[in-house]
């Protein structure tokens, strides 16, 4: 079968020279997926592609070589995550640019704005996530963010300007202020090169934007009498090959030489004109000076030859030193290499590191640590930091680094020791899937199967995310880079230790802080720290409770006390209602036998009426204690809701019962409750 060849989907970078050189190497450019043959090797350009384009490439069984810039990939992740949160993605950038088109393909709903005037009114009440094209001007992005914040209510901003681009723009601005002219090298189709040219033009009146040395207009460079003192700045877009920059630089250096030679020739011509005269004496003077002039010329020539020989040697040495210095400062790095650098900037999303190379190094926040701390809490500007190189992008001029992977490599031996010694380790849950969760421990990713998570079956693993957990390593295979752990093992061990402690110290009346685990029709099971106890429905409240769920819900943290326990059967009866809120205790503290109280009739029965004395304490008014006259029907005398006065005839502290009398209100109290006792006994027999 014939090899379909290699293709780039669109221009790899926005530079015609690079595109031509790729073509020379046999890498063709296809403008759409439809124009690609099935099974072709396809390079995804630095601007990235949408999710749908990648899916179509897989359908065509293409081999995908992903050269998407890490900064662009970061925006794709933001688009994907914020869309899942229900936010609309707002992109500040050029809607026709390949990067912006690709980013839109990772969001469910997106809007592209090229300036503040393009912000649509319908965004006002939506939840928004705002990003910018990586090559946008920082000042323009700041202005756009500020403007949309004023007009929309719920906005989350993400700083997505490429750090290398931002630094290049800052340097270009500084260069423009300090020089007499600026030459910007870049392709007309390159967004970041156009931005550089615009920044320079705003600060310097003499700016040339060229794609190669042939477009450089040398006459526009400073050419006055002080040309040798003029300062000319040179900058270039990210996608410009170094070869083109060097060609432009050499053309500028050649122009400087030509200017100096022209000035020297002009001065000699003027001097010669001053010495010429129309008289014989002058002719004689000129003739007599011929010999001296010839001798001087010969001497000068010899001196010049010697000077040239000397200068050649010095120049060769200088060029050698310059080449060494250039190679040292522009060294390249390889993926997997360990590097050391100095932190130059820190923000919430990344850390920029100076590596002494032509590319800028940066560590994304998720490659700096386990995520429990922000980058600002881990490093500061000026810190020396070590990291692994995870990706080198010469086109965009950036090197992606990972401190987390370096830490993981350093800590691998410790993980193996922990597996052998069954040491309990601590980590942060950073990811979840159907099979379990991933815990970051000392920079290493430890997989914990769902069965070892400590959660009940079919419980969503997501509730463990960002939680700090303790676990034990059960498998550490360095060859396969596989680490497996168990949270349940440690949790069960801790629970057993807590249970032993509780059973050794438990006593009636002791108070525990517990968690409601399960609700049933007859009560609630409460975990008091390693042991489950039952709080019966009758002990949940001093008021009547129809269902336990009327008082509690699963997961509630509650204070309970021990009513009784059995060490042999491992059963504990708990109470939830507060002892100091016991209405019977309040009643007995306030009232005595013989007191006259205000009551409210709650219920009428055949043998009398129950009346509320205080909330949750009722007394019985026996039918014989209502009136001296015979009563055929209680409802002819009383009805529920009646408020009246009654005398407390008897208090049964053991059975927690109160006997009341209306008939005894007009009689003097002699402290004899015998009649009330007889009424109470009759009531007990009638109940």
CA angle 159/164/166 to nearest 5° reads 55
Determine whether 99 is an active site residue: yes
CA atoms within 13 A on the CB side of 373: 8
Name every residue whose Cβ is closer than 8 Å to that of residue 94 and which is 6 or more positions away in sequence. Answer: 100, 114, 133, 191
Is the distance from CB of 387 to CB of 355 less than 8 angstroms? no
Secondary structure percentages of the chain, helix, strand, coil, to 5: 40, 30, 30
Is the distance from CB of 576 to CB of 552 less than 8 angstroms? yes
Helix (H, G, I), strand (E, B) or coil at 611: strand
Give the pairing type, strands 41-44 and 63-66: parallel
Q: Distance between CA 684 and CA 1 in Å, rounded? A: 102
Helix (H, G, I), strand (E, B) or coil at 45: coil
Catalytic residue among 17, 49, 73, 99: 99
Name every residue whose Cβ is closer than 8 Å to that of residue 234 and which is 6 or more positions away in sequence. Answer: 182, 183, 185, 245, 248, 249, 252
CA atoms within 13 A on the CB side of 570: 6
Helix (H, G, I), strand (E, B) or coil at 265: helix
Q: Distance between CA 45 and CA 563 in Å, rounded? A: 72
Q: DSSP assignment, residue 230? A: -
Residue 679: CB atoms within 10 A of its CB come to: 24
Residues acting as catalytic residues: 99
């Amino acid at each position: 079968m014939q090899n379909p060849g290699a293709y780039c989907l669109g221009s790899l970078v926005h530079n015609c020279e690079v595109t031509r050189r790729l073509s020379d190497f046999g890498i063709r450019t296809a403008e759409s997926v439809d124009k690609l043959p099935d099974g072709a090797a396809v390079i995804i350009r630095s601007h990235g592609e949408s999710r749908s384009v990648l899916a179509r490439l897989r359908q065509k069984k293409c081999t995908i070589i992903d050269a998407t810039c890490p900064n662009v990939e970061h925006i794709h992740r933001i688009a994907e995550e914020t869309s899942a949160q229900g936010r609309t993605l707002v992109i500040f950038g050029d809607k026709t640019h390949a990067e912006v088109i690709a980013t839109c393909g990772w969001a469910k709903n997106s809007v592209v704005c090229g300036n503040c005037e393009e912000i649509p009114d319908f965004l006002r009440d939506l939840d928004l996530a705002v990003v910018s094209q990586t090559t946008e001007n920082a000042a323009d992005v700041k202005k756009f963010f500020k403007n949309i914040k004023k007009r929309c209510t719920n906005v989350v901003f993400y700083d997505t300007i490429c750090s290398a681009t931002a630094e290049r723009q800052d340097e270009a601005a500084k260069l423009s202020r300090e020089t007499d002219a600026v030459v910007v090298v870049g392709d007309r189709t390159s967004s970041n090169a156009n931005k550089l040219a615009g920044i320079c033009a705003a600060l310097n009146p003499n700016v040339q934007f060229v794609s190669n040395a042939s477009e450089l207009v040398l006459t526009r460079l400073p050419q006055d009498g002080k040309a040798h003192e003029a300062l000319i700045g040179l900058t270039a877009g990210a996608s410009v090959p170094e070869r083109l920059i060097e060609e432009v630089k050499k053309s500028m250096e050649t122009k400087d030489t030509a200017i100096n030679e022209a000035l020297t020739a002009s001065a000699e011509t003027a001097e010669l004109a001053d010495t010429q005269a129309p008289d014989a004496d002058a002719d004689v003077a000129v003739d007599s000076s011929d010999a001296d002039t010839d001798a001087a010329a010969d001497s000068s020539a010899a001196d010049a030859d010697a000077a040239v020989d000397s200068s050649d040697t010095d120049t060769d040495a200088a060029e050698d030193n310059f080449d060494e210095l250039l190679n040292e400062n522009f060294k390249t790095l390889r993926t997997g290499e360990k590097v050391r650098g100095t932190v130059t900037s820190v923000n919430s999303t990344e850390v920029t590191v100076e590596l002494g190379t032509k590319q800028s190094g940066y560590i994304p926040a998720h490659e700096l640590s386990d995520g429990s701390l922000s980058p600002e809490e881990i490093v500061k500007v000026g810190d020396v930091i070590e990291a692994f190189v995870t990706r080198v992008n010469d086109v965009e001029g950036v090197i992606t680094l990972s401190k987390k992977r370096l830490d993981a490599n350093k800590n691998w031996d410790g993980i193996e020791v922990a597996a052998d010694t069954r040491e309990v380790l601590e980590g942060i849950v950073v990811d979840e899937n159907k099979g379990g969760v991933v815990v970051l421990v000392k920079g290493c990713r430890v997989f914990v199967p769902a069965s070892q998570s400590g959660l009940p079956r079919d419980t969503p693993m997501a509730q463990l995310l960002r939680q700090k957990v303790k676990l034990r390593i059960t498998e550490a295979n360095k060859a396969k880079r596989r680490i497996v752990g168990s949270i349940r093992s440690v949790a069960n061990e801790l629970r057993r230790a807590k249970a032993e402690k509780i059973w050794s110290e438990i006593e009636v009346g002791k108070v525990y802080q517990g968690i409601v685990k399960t609700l049933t029709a007859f009560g609630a099971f409460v975990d008091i720290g390693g042991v489950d106890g039952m709080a019966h429905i009758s002990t949940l409240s001093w008021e009547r409770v129809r269902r336990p769920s009327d008082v509690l819900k699963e997961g509630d943290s509650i204070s309970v006390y021990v009513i009784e326990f059995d060490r042999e059967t491992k059963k504990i009866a708990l109470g939830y209602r507060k002892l100091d809120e016991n209405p019977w205790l309040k009643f007995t503290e306030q009232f005595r036998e013989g007191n006259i109280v205000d009551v409210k009739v709650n219920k009428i029965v055949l043998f009398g009426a129950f009346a509320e004395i205080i909330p949750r304490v009722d007394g019985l008014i026996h039918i014989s204690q209502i009136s001296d006259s015979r009563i055929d029907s209680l409802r002819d005398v009383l009805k529920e809701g009646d408020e009246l006065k009654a005398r407390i005839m008897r208090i049964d502290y053991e059975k927690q019962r109160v006997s009341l009398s209306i008939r005894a209100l007009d009689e003097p109290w002699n402290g004899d409750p015998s009649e009330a006792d007889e009424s109470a006994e009759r009531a007990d027999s009638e109940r």
